[in-house]
């Protein structure tokens, strides 16, 4: 079971609240979040189709994992020993588009 979320958008998306934050990868992200929610160990999501990757190792907190989705999108999480499930779960994606330049008013 997912213990905590990294951000409010991922939490709202997982709850089924209306959000456009991950519209590009909604179906795939939802599937991976459901897999994480059902998992009792990180090995449960270590399937060939998930392409699970370690993106960071930390001496005390353990590892930061990533399940790539498509393009620059993925689901990141940590699974510290004794936590009972994944923590800091978040759908991560490309940086936000820069704002459009302001137009001069004539």
Q: How far is CA 102 from CA 95, 96, 98, 106, in A?
A: 20, 17, 12, 12
Of 20 and 86, the one with more pLDDT? 86
In the prediction, which pLDDT does 78 show?
93
Q: Tell me: pLDDT of 53 over 90.
A: yes
Widest distance between CA atoms in the chain: 63
The answer to whether residue 54 is domain-embedded is yes
Residue 98: inside a domain, yes or no? no
Mean pLDDT, residues 36-57 taken together: 93
Residue 35 lies in a domain: yes
In this prediction, residue 61 carries a pLDDT of 63
Please name the residue ranges forming H helices in 1-106: 8-15, 26-38
Q: What percent of the chain has pLDDT over 70?
A: 83
Helix (H, G, I), strand (E, B) or coil at 55: strand
- pLDDT tens per residue across span 54-104: 987 766 666 899 999 998 899 999 998 888 899 999 999 876 444 444 444
Query: Residue 81 belongs to a domain with what CATH number?
Result: 3.30.2310.20
Domain total in the chain = 1
Is residue 64 in a domain? yes
Check residue 38 and give its pLDDT.
Answer: 97
Alpha carbons 85 and 39: distance in angstroms, whole number: 7
More confident residue, 21 or 43: 43
Determine the structural domain holding residue 24 and report its residue range.
Answer: 8-92
Which pLDDT does position 58 carry in this prediction? 65
Q: Is residue 100 part of a domain?
A: no
């Amino acid at each position: 079971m997912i213990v905590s979320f990294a951000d409010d958008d991922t939490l709202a998306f997982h709850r089924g609240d209306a959000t456009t934050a991950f519209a590009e990868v909604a179906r795939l992200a939802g599937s991976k979040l459901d897999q994480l929610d059902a998992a009792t160990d990180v090995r449960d999501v270590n399937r060939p189709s998930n392409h699970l990757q370690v993106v960071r190792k930390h001496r005390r907190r353990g590892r930061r994992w990533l399940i790539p989705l498509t393009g620059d999108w993925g689901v990141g999480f940590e699974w510290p020993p004794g936590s009972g499930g994944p923590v800091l779960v978040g759908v991560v994606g490309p940086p936000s588009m820069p704002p459009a330049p302001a137009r001069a008013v004539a």
